Every structure is written in structure tokens, then in C-alpha cells.
């Protein structure tokens, strides 16, 4: 390894098996660039993922990685971040993993504000299991045999949920802009608390229309520290706006302020017996 770390130092020798054109390639590049920008030693980084195409990412990098179970990435990452505050903990997964089976964990991770980064690679489809609608799929999408007339449900809106749940750092970026995403990840890594970045990551295999994202994604979010202002900006959001939406003054979780008060009283252990 070179004395000055480069993005290549964070990439493993395992070749990604994502489909050609998958947006997750851009996220891999952005994440390695962000870690190189911070000169973060790989052995001081832990990548925690769930289940899905995007959750394969830890295998393609040299830091420690843990490939968990579906929807449980945030409990695992939270436990590690609390037990090992000396590590940089990055949780990652897809929209199905994070907002469907993992949706409840998402809300409570926002309100706990434990120091870690959460990257959600959102392609609005279940790519690994052949293209079913996901929580963020648009109401009128008819691309799956399971929803031939659309989902008939409004799409899950993760930025609003994050804001309403108390998340202190909320952003949306595009995998087709890896340099901009890398800069946002650096900002998230430097922020002491729970940071959430929704990354629009096209799946051109099951959502070929997403190839047009480059023409419609636009960077218009102006960051604010006032939660109501951030929420108001999302009322007419088309889902393609990128940038840092909300950043509150840091107030990360500091652990139990009075652990002695909750400790069970010690009891003597009696061994043996007899009449």
C-alpha cells in the first residue's frame, strides 16, 4: 500500500458482478474516492450491508465488511458504532432492504442519531429477485408482471420520513455523478451523528427507462438547518432533486448519561447445599 492512500487502495481484487450499466459501480467509485480524500486507513473502516444487489459492495472493498440479513443492516451497524466508536461505520443497502423490511429500523436509526453513515442505493425496483416493485416504485409503473396495472400505492418518500423521524443530515445524490457523491460522503463522514444519503442508482436491466436519469436529475437543494423549511422544499419535489437538503447542529448520541442508575444490584452467589 502506498504511503498516500488512493481510491485503488480501498478496492479489493473481487470483480463486481453487477449488471453492465448498474449505478452501483458509480457508488463504489465514489465511496473509495471519499475514503481516500479522508486518508482513512482501511482497517479503521467497517462496511455493513444487508441483502440485495447493492449489498454486495463490501466484498469489492478492502475495509472490514459484514454482509448481514435482509433489512437488518441498521441494527448491526448501530451495535458496532456504539461498541467501537473508534471505527468509521458505513451502513449500506438498497431501497427494498432499507425501506421495506428495514423501514422500522430506518426511522429509529434517524432518531437515535448514532454516529455512522447510511447509504441507500435506490433504483426503485427489486433487481436481485427479477424486477418486482419496491417501496419507492412509482404508482403508475407497469414494468413487472406482478403489477401490470401499476402499484396503486404512493411511493415511499425517504427524505420526508428521515426528516420526520429526526435525522440530522439528509441528502440525495446521483450515482452518475461520482465526484459529487464522493464529496457528499466526505461531508457525511465528517458529521458527528447519523447521516442519510439516498443515492439514485439506475437499474437499466429492469428499469431501462432510468437510463434517462442524466437528463432529468438536477442539483437544486439549498441546505438548511430548519427542519420545517426542508420539509416544505419536498412538497413539490419530483424525486430528481439532488444535494444536501438538511443539516442540523450536531447532537450525536452520547450513550447512557447515568449507567450506574440502571445497573442491577449485585447478589451473592451461593454454591452447594445440603440438609
Domain residue spans of the chain: 7-262
- pLDDT for 257: 58
131 class by beta-carbon count within 10 Å (0-12 exposed, 13-18 middle, 19+ buried)? middle
- pLDDT for 87: 97
- pLDDT for 252: 72
Average pLDDT over residues 238-244: 96
Q: Return all residues near 207 (Cβ < 8 A) that are at least 6 apart.
A: 123, 124, 125, 131, 143
116 class by beta-carbon count within 10 Å (0-12 exposed, 13-18 middle, 19+ buried)? buried
CATH of domain 7-262: 3.40.50.970
- pLDDT for 128: 82
Task: Label the pairing between strands 169-174 and 116-122.
Answer: unpaired
- pLDDT for 73: 96
**Cell numbers at 166, concatenated:** 429526526
Average pLDDT over residues 210-217: 94
Nearest to 23 by CA among 205, 153, 229: 205
- pLDDT for 1: 47
d(CA 103, CA 159): 13
Q: What is the pLDDT of residues 248-259, one digit of tens each?
A: 998 877 776 555
- pLDDT for 258: 54
46 or 258, greater pLDDT: 46
Task: State the first-to-last Cα distance of the chain, in angstroms, to the nearest integer.
Answer: 69
Please report, rounded to a whole number, the percentage of residues in the chain having pLDDT higher than 90.
Answer: 77
Average pLDDT over residues 44-67: 94
* Mean pLDDT estimate for the chain: 91
Per-residue pLDDT at 270 exceeds 60: no
Average pLDDT over residues 153-162: 95
Per-residue pLDDT at 245 exceeds 90: yes
Q: What is the pLDDT of residues 82-95, one digit of tens each?
A: 999 999 999 999 99
Q: Is the whole-model pTM more than 0.85?
A: yes
Q: What is the arrangement of strands in the sheet containing 88-94, beginning at the earlier edge strand?
A: 64-67, 45-49, 88-94, 116-122, 194-200, 169-174, 241-247, 218-219
Q: Is 271 helix (H, G, I), strand (E, B) or coil?
A: coil
Place of cell 448501530: 78
120 or 257, greater pLDDT: 120
Amino acid at each position: 500500500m502506498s504511503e498516500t492512500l488512493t481510491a485503488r487502495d480501498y478496492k479489493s481484487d473481487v470483480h463486481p458482478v453487477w449488471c453492465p450499466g448498474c449505478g452501483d459501480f458509480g457508488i463504489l467509485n465514489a465511496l473509495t474516492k471519499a475514503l481516500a480524500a479522508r486518508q482513512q486507513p482501511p482497517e479503521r473502516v467497517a462496511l455493513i450491508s444487508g441483502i440485495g444487489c447493492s449489498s454486495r459492495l463490501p466484498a469489492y472493498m478492502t475495509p472490514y465488511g459484514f454482509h448481514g440479513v435482509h433489512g437488518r443492516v441498521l441494527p448491526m451497524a448501530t451495535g458496532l458504532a456504539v461498541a467501537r466508536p473508534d471505527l468509521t461505520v458505513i451502513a449500506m443497502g438498497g431501497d427494498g432492504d432499507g425501506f421495506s423490511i428495514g423501514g422500522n429500523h430506518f426511522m429509529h436509526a434517524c432518531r437515535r442519531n448514532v454516529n455512522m453513515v447510511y447509504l441507500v442505493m435506490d433504483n426503485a425496483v427489486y433487481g436481485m429477485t427479477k424486477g418486482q416493485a419496491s417501496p419507492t416504485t412509482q404508482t403508475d409503473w407497469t414494468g413487472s408482471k406482478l403489477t401490470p396495472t401499476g402499484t396503486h400505492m404512493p411511493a415511499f418518500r425517504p427524505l420526508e420520513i428521515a426528516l420526520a423521524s429526526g435525522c440530522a443530515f439528509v441528502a440525495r445524490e446521483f450515482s452518475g455523478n461520482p465526484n459529487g457523491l464522493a464529496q457528499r460522503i466526505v461531508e457525511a463522514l465528517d458529521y458527528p451523528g447519523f447521516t442519510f444519503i439516498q443515492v439514485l442508482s439506475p437499474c437499466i436491466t429492469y428499469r431501462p427507462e432510468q437510463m434517462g436519469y442524466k437528463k432529468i436529475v438536477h442539483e437544486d437543494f439549498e441546505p438548511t438547518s430548519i427542519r420545517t423549511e426542508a420539509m416544505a422544499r419536498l412538497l413539490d419535489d419530483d424525486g430528481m432533486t439532488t444535494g444536501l437538503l438538511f443539516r442540523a447542529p450536531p447532537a450525536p448520541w452520547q450513550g447512557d448519561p447515568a449507567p450506574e442508575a440502571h445497573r442491577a444490584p449485585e447478589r451473592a452467589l451461593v454454591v452447594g447445599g445440603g440438609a
